[in-house]
Amino acid sequence: MNKDLPLTEGVFYILLALIKPNHGYGIIQDVEQMTGGRLVLGAGTLYGAINTMLDKGWIKLYSEEVTSRKKKEYMITTTGKEILKFETERLEELIKNSKIVMEDRI
């Protein structure tokens, strides 16, 4: 069992959004789209999570625009993909067990 699990929902979706290189606003848009608008990340939440994931090596800086706004793009790392895989397996187990118990009780 990985000590970093379970992931918060926000971190899970940020990792998904970084399967391809993406910048902050793009991540916010992708997460909102993936969740049908249910999860809207604030800038503080997003950049706090990005800094944590950079420190853990789950994501990396992909590119940085050096013009006026210095837009940075990030991308998931191999370690980040492993974390995402472990979390997906954990969530699948939760769903499987929930279905089994609910079928037996209903």
Q: Domains in the chain, please, with CATH? A: 9-105 (1.10.10.10)
Reported as a single tens digit per residue, the pLDDT across 10-54 is 999 999 999 999 999 999 999 999 999 999 999 999 999 999 999
| pLDDT band for position 1 (cuts 50, 70, 90) | low
* Angstrom distances, CA of residue 32 to CA of 4, 10, 14, 62, 73: 24, 10, 10, 22, 18
Buried/exposed code over 4-32 (b: 16+ C-beta within 10 A; e: otherwise)? eeebeebbbbbbebbeeebbbebbbebbb
Torsion angles phi and psi, residue 58, rounded to 5 = -80, -25
Length of the chain: 106
Cα–Cα dist 80/11, whole Å = 11
